Amino acid sequence: MNSNNAWLGKAEDFADQFLRLSKNYLPHIARLCLVSTFLEDGLRMWWQWTEQREYMDISWGCGYFIATLFVIINLVGQLGGVVMVLLRKRVEIACGILFSIVVLQTIAYQILWDVQFLFRNLALVGGLALVVAESKKEARSIFAGVPSLGENKPKTYLMLGGRILLVFMFLTLVRFEFSVMQLFQLVIGGMLMCLVAIGFRTKLSSFMLVLWLTLFNIYMNAFWTIPAYKPMRDFLKYDFFQTMSVIGGLLMLVSLGPGGVSMDEHKKQW
């Protein structure tokens, strides 16, 4: 038991040292990873303009004008929201726009009845909640050096919701196949995500998941190795950027901490 505690202590010290060294640019990387799904999808609307418009027209029989309007809203809304988040301009409005895009796509692509895609969209909402929580932290930190007394309730609940919804995103990455890799992912990754959800040793758990998911993503979702004409390339690209959003959410937790409603926060009061 003592050896385990010593190892955990050293691991947490390493994570804290990493945070101190990267605190100036880690939030920027986290935000970029979090919105990478929206960035990729917005660019895809531009690159596959005709295909997307025809798909909507055929699926809904809505006509040329409505189908074109759908593509324009997705393109402008996602790229505009991403730019606002990255520049930290009107972050709450930007996240509201991106949230509206998630709802619109859930209805338009009939995702509501597909559990896997629905979970991914719920998790994207969780990522947006973490982005809003970060902006609230900056807005409320008026007096340097004055500790928070827990009065920022919106930020606290946004952090809690973001942590829990990240679990949904992780579940979509799990493939229930009988292989050593999938078993390792299910057991180890699931355990770490549970720790993140309840907010126990959150920064260390998030940091370990970032390292593992980065390696996993590069190995399993290497879409750049697939020729452009093969449909598998698009599937792998989608999974790649979804995983990047997971990584972005975890990096945000490494940077911000778990928030007020967490085991880590309650341990301070024991």
Instruction: Compute the distance between CA of residue 78 and CA of residue 99 in angstroms, rounded to an integer.
Output: 10
Query: Which pLDDT belongs to residue 16?
Result: 67
Query: Which pLDDT belongs to residue 99?
Result: 93
One-letter-per-residue 3-state SS of 41-66? HHHHHHHCHHHHHHHHHHHHCCHHHH
Read off the pTM. 0.80
Query: Which pLDDT belongs to residue 149?
Result: 44
Q: Could you list the mean pLDDT of each consecutive 10-residue stretch along the chain, which spans 270 residues?
A: 57 66 81 92 90 85 87 93 92 93 86 76 86 70 45 76 80 66 74 81 82 86 89 86 86 79 62
Whose CA is closest to 102, among 72, 123, 130, 132? 123
What are the extents of the domains in the chain? 25-267
